[in-house]
Structure formats: structure tokens, C-alpha cells
Chain A
Amino acid sequence: MAGLAIRLAVTPSVHGLEHVKEQGGPFIFVANHPSELDEALVRNALRSVVPRLVSVAVEPRGGIRGLVDQALSLRSASRLSALLKSGTSVLLFAETTRTGDGSLAPLDLGAAALGIRTGVPLVPVALLGTFRALPPWRLTVEPGRPRVSVLFSRPIRAGSGDESSAVTESIAQAIEVGLAEESRGWYGARRSPADVVVPRETEGQPEAGWRRMWKATATPTGPTRRRVWQ
């Protein structure tokens, strides 16, 4: 039912699920969190692979969701470890803050620490297009079934000898590569970190806020449906 609702609202595409399918769970999924659509999308993508999944955001959630989180003490590392031990996977929205334009904020070290503590593989997840589909100022999804993508990267295994900052760095890098796919394509996103100087759109200066927002909400160009005569 939830799957149908998602399909009616957006056009989802899921890639990289085979990395998860091949290994037995549980997993710690670490995702970016540009919109309220994210949790439902990831749950829907994983419904046949991971039977039990709880989601937690680093930034406390408001309303009833926040109360539920509190009641189940989902924000405590020991509680999450216990859940992982019992075979439940965890979806962590690990950004320390929610940015206003959907871009990736620095990640909290907690996700990596949980992975190191439990030895459960960490799966970076990049969510693309969800900010455009449901920006914070809208109550309903943008009409026209906008395209959204859920990209699962290869699982990262962290052991007791690893530094949580280094593991967090590799998770963030995997998510960034996923996010870069939208503008540079699959190969281009993987190719650009190999350059010593990463090309930036503005020399050294961070982009102005309005430009980031403009870009984040721009209608994607290019063919949206498969052309018949090609």
C-alpha cells in the first residue's frame, strides 16, 4: 500500500540494491536527509530485503515521531546496538543539521561509532531529487511524479581498530559520489575525486545561498521518458 502511494506520488529508481541483497543483514544504512520523503522511499526500496528497519535522525524529530523516538529510546547507542544484535537494521539520518537547500551537511560521528561498536556493515545511501519533490515549504509532493533516486553504495565494514572520524569520512565520500551522479553521471562522479584539485564551480568561495537553492529546486532537463525511435 505504501509502495503504491509512493509510486503515485513520485517516480522512484533504486540502484545498488544488489550490494545489500548478497550479504545477510542486519545493516546500518546511513543516508542524507533532504526531505520528509526520505524515510518512506528507503523503506519501500528495502521492503523485500530487510524485513525489520527502524529509523533515527541525529537531529531530534518533532511532534509524535519525536515522542515515539523518546519512548522507545531510539536515540541511545546501547538501545540501537541491542536492536542490531536482534537482527533489526537501522536507518540513520546522520547529518548534524538539516540544511535549508537539501545539500549534505557534515555527518555525526555516531553512525560510524555504532558500526565500529557492533561490527555491522555500514551502507551509505544517497537520496537524489527528494528535496525538489518535497521541499520543506510544501505539504504535498510536487505534481507530475518527479524522479527521485535511492542509491545504495557498497557496504563499509568497520572493525574495532578503526577511527570513527575516518569511517565517517568514507561514508560521507560515498554519499557525495552518489549525489554527484545527478550532475556528472555515474562515471564522472567516480572519476572526479581522482583529480588532485577538485573542480569547484566558484574559485574557493562557497556558492551563494540563493544559487544553491535555485539549483536544488530546478526542473531537471533532458528526456524524462524513453524515446521510442532511437
Chain B
Amino acid sequence: MSRPGFVLSVDAQTPPLVVFQGEKVLLERLPVDASVLYPPEALQGIRSLDEAISRALDAPVDSEPLRALLKRGSRVTIVFEDLSQPVTSRTAPDVRQRVIELVLERAAAAGVDDVELIAATGLRRRLTAHDLQRVLGERVYASFAPDHVRSHDAEDENLQVVGELADGTPIEVNGRVASSDLVISVRLATAVGNEGAAAVATKLIGAKTARARGSFAVRTAAAAAEISTDAFDDLVDTIGDKAQVFTVDVTLTPEPTGPASAFLSKREREWSLTDRALSAGLQAATRILPARARIGLAQVSGVGYGVTSVVAGKPSSVHPLTEAFLAQQQVAQFDRPADVALFGIPNPGTIGSSLNPVTAAALGLGQIFNGATAEPVVRAGGTAIFYHPLTPWFHPLHDPAYIDFFAEVLTQSTDPAVISEQFEEKFAADPWYRHVYQTSSSNHALHPFHAWYSAAPAIAHLGEIIFVGGDHGSTRRLGFKSASTLADALEMASGSVGLAPAITYVHGAPVSISEVS
């Protein structure tokens, strides 16, 4: 059992607190009487991972052991998480590789020949050969490349229909997956950034299905109905007529546990001399280094994630167990929603590039805002203050659709309903975006739309959204305000929340994703 989270009330003795701002880490002195929500401390990682995985595979929940499911001559597909979950170590093999190696050893012993590995990318960018090698390891990759290891292609011609959505749109999933005898899904989950859906098929659907499922109208209707029955509920344990799903769920510690960056998730009052020295070093490096080098610094400091649990078996039985386990790592309860909430948005450590402004806003408003606690920490009509530079920089390979979304769509309107009506069809039908998605690892054209829709509930809930340190132009274009310091931001917010608002700071952003979904 780890130490539970708690709420600290800031007084004159409280030291400056760690706040992430893109690739920078600031030490901010908060106003007296502000509350700080500390998440529970991370659980200890499992030391002997091989043993834990083997135990899970040999004694699964509500399923026969994996060995018994693997039969000579059967068609097996292994589906694994893409870079929306972090690469768990910079020096040792990734956790996905560890699980897949043990699964494949059992498949080899059973004499299975027809094996294919597919990265469950959904509408995210398809992985390059280098990414696949990093996730699967050199040996597994070399055994299956180039034909039997690939990323899911949402625009593929060989998608197979396995059901129907509520509005009558056919559910098209990856053809290989639907035609397999056994689908082994290797999932990584962290407290935030966990997609939540029980069915792995949601990450293997075609673009048309994804568009119908993720459209703004459907999202709004689902939020209004609160409890929605998902058409994918039938695809949790089997996909199509014969593909049986066996899942291996691995939960990770919410933040990197490397020695150099561990102090960032500690409580500042408890910092040791070493932690203070590291913090001073980091501050000095942040001041001296240019922006590009700071990105490298973030990559070095996030060193590795511990594994906290491994559960395997029937997905409908395993998923609730994983969810319950992750719920333990949620932020502590708080008494009442505040008038103003502060959030830091870190640069996800393993990408090696900064976030584009649309993704950063979606990350802040979609995932951090909704993800840290069960209820929003701000009252309806309150103010959220985020720390992020919102530099208008886009990855030239991954973000072509984002560039146009930022330049053409957001200049016209920031209203999701208008955007979805006027622009979504044009982007979805554009053959150029389809081409770069399929051939050069860029995000699908619908990806920026879905990101923006995910931020919509938070934007509707909040009165004002202010980005401290945000680029003036891009903050304006997104429909938010920018401030240079926290004091300025509070001054700007005073018009709507008064001069003595209740302030809550959600400490350390519990984001451990490496590429935003």
C-alpha cells in the first residue's frame, strides 16, 4: 500500500512548488491559503517481471491458460499498444517486448506458424520500423519484419464488418484481427491516459467507423445520456465470428521512477539535500539551455516506469480488475470545487519534440482536467489556469492535418459544432491526408478534430481558460487568454471569480503518455 494522496493548504512556510510548463519545470510560490492536491505516491514496481507475467499467462482470470489456447495451425494475432503509452525504459527492454516474448515462446512451443503482430494505433500515426523495433526489441522485430509486424491501417481496403453502431454505421475492424482464431491483446495502462474502453477493437477500427463513433454529435449525446451502451460491448471477448480475445493488462506507475526525476513527484517539504541539488541543477539547465536542448533534457530525466500489476485472461473479467486497480492511484478526495484551478502540462518525455498547441490544449482540457479526479476540481463557470508555452510548432511528419486544422479551421471558428459541420467532411475525404497517413507516419486527418472535441466539455464547463507563458497568437487562436505570470493570470481571472478566489493546484500532472491519443 502506498501513501495516500492529501490536500495541503499553502501557508507562509510552504516552499515553492514544482509546476511543469512544457519542457520547463518551474518552482512557483503559490498564494497563501491555496490548496494543493497531491496524488497518492506510486506503488512499488514488481521486481521479478518475468515471473509475474508467466504467472498471469499460466493462471488467467476466467480463461484457460494461454498454452491451452494456442494450437498448432491456428491463426494468432498479437495486438499491442502503440506509443500512446510510454516506452517504459530507455536502457532495458520495453514491457511490451517482455510480455510479447513470453507469449511468443508459448506460441512457438505449441507449434504456431501463422503469427502476426499489429500495433493498435486507432487514428494515431502508424509506427515507423524504428518505433516498432524500439517497442518490440530487435530480435522479435527481426523475426517478423517486414510482412508480419505492422501498424493498424484505418484506411485499409481489407477491413471486415463485424457489427453495427447505434446509427446504423457498420463497424469495420482490421481484417487480419477479425479473421484470426486467437487475438492476444497486450495493453499498458496508467492512471491517466488509459482509454478506458474494454474492447481492444476500438483501437482497430476503420476511419469511417471511427468518424461515426467519435463525431461531436455522438459525443454530446453520450455525455447527455450519461450511461451509454456501446456497440463495442459485444466485441470485448470475441471479434467477429471466431476471433477469441485473450488480454494481458499491465499497469504502470503513473510517473517515471528514474533516479534523476523521482524528486519531481515527491512532496517538496520532504526533499532531501540531493533532491534540492537536482532541482537547482534542473533550474540552472532550464535557464541556460536553448529550447531544443531542453527537450533533450526532459528525455534524459524521464528514465523508466515500474510495472505495478499484470493480469491476463478474458477481457470482460480482466478490465474491471485493471480499472479498480488504477482507481487506487487517483487523486485524493477534495471538499468542494474551487473557483480557480492550476494545472501544469508537461512535455511527454519520450517523444523528443514539443507538443503542438492543439494537442497541448486537448491534453490539458481533455485528459488532465478530466483525468485527475472523478469530479472537476473547478466549479462550473470557474477559471482554469494552465502552464504551457503553446508554441506554434508542429511536427512536420506527424502533424500535417494539425497544421491545416490550426491554420484553416481554428481561424474560422473554435466551436466544435461548427467545425464538425463545416470542415470534418473535407478533411476526412482528402486523399492527400490519407496518403501521408498510410505511407509516412502522420496522424489521421480526423485526429485533430477528435482531439478538439475531447476538450469541448471542459471548455463548456469553464468560464475562463488562461495559459501562463502561452504564446500570445496561438493562445488567442484557440480561444483562450495568455498571461506571463501567475499573478497576472489571477488578476485577469478576478473579473469573474473575485479578488479572493478559492485556488486549487493539482500537483504534478499525472500524465505519462508519450504521444497523445
Contacts and interface: CB of A to CB of B under 8 A. Distances in A.
B142 A185 contact: yes
A188 B142 CA distance: 11
A18 B92 CA distance: 7
A222 to B, nearest CB: 10
B139 A195 contact: no
A193 to B, nearest CB: 8
A21 B111 CA distance: 30
Contacts of A22: 47-50
A158 B239 CA distance: 43
Contacts of B393: none
Contacts of A186: 139-140, 142-143
Nearest to B49: A22
A35 B129 CA distance: 34
A230 interface: yes
A191 B98 contact: no
A108 B111 CA distance: 30
B108 A194 contact: yes
A154 B105 CA distance: 12
A187 B92 contact: no
Contacts of B137: 15
Contact of B104 (A13, A21, A190): A190
Interface in A179-206: 181, 185-188, 190-191, 193-195
B47 A181 contact: no
A160 interface: no
Contacts of A181: 139
Contacts of A23: 48
A190 B50 contact: no
B138 interface: yes
Interface in B106-156: 108-113, 115, 129, 137-140, 142-144
Contacts of A194: 72, 108-111
Contacts of A185: 139, 142-143
B93 interface: yes
A187 B137 CA distance: 12
A154 B50 contact: yes
Contact of B109 (A18, A19, A188, A190): A190
Contacts of B48: 22-23
A18 B137 CA distance: 12
B263 to A, nearest CB: 24
Interface string B458-494: 0000000000000000000000000000000000000
Contacts of A19: 50
B109 A21 contact: no
Given A194-B109, A230-B129, A187 B144 contact: yes
Contacts of A193: 109
Which of A15, A21, A194 gathers the greatest number of chain B CB atoms within 10 Å? A194
Which of A21, A154, A188 gathers the greatest number of chain B CB atoms within 10 Å? A154
A15 B143 contact: no
A195 B111 contact: yes
Nearest to A17: B92
Q: Give the size category of B's interface with A.
A: 20 to 34
B93 A191 contact: no
Interface string A193-221: 11100000000000000000000000000
B255 to A, nearest CB: 21
A130 to B, nearest CB: 18
A193 B49 CA distance: 26
A190 B108 contact: yes
A195 B213 CA distance: 46
B142 A190 contact: no
A13 B139 CA distance: 11
Contacts of A230: 129
A185 B140 CA distance: 8
A205 B72 CA distance: 29
A147 to B, nearest CB: 12
Given A23-B48, A194-B108, A187 B138 contact: no
Contacts of A188: 143
Nearest to B110: A194
Interface in B34-73: 47-50, 72
Contact of A187 (B104, B110, B129): B104
Contact of B140 (A21, A187, A195): A187
B77 to A, nearest CB: 14
Nearest to A23: B48
A23 B144 CA distance: 30
Contacts of B142: 185-186
Contacts of A21: 92
B105 A190 contact: yes
Given A18-B98, A22-B48, A191 B108 contact: yes
Nearest to A191: B108
Contacts of B139: 15, 181, 185-186
A187 B109 CA distance: 10
A121 to B, nearest CB: 12
Interface string B155-194: 0000000000000000000000000000000000000000
A146 B317 CA distance: 50
Contacts of B113: 191
Contacts of A18: 49-50, 92-93, 98
A15 B143 CA distance: 15
Contacts of B98: 18
A183 B176 CA distance: 28
Contacts of B138: 13, 15
A205 B355 CA distance: 62
Contacts of B129: 230
Nearest to A155: B50
A48 B115 CA distance: 36
Contacts of B72: 194
A74 B111 CA distance: 42
Interface string A2-28: 000000000001010111011100000
Contacts of B92: 17-18, 21
19 contacts: A18-B92, A18-B93, A21-B92, A22-B47, A22-B49, A22-B50, A154-B50, A181-B139, A185-B139, A186-B139, A186-B140, A186-B142, A186-B143, A187-B104, A190-B109, A194-B72, A194-B108, A194-B109, A230-B129
Interface of A: 13, 15, 17-19, 21-23, 154, 181, 185-188, 190-191, 193-195, 230
Given A13-B138, A185-B143, A191-B108, 20 more contacts: A17-B92, A18-B50, A18-B98, A22-B49, A22-B50, A186-B139, A186-B142, A186-B143, A187-B140, A187-B143, A187-B144, A190-B104, A190-B108, A190-B109, A191-B111, A191-B113, A193-B109, A194-B111, A195-B111, A230-B129
Top-9 shortest CB links A-B? A190-B108, A187-B143, A186-B139, A194-B111, A191-B108, A185-B143, A186-B143, A22-B48, A18-B92
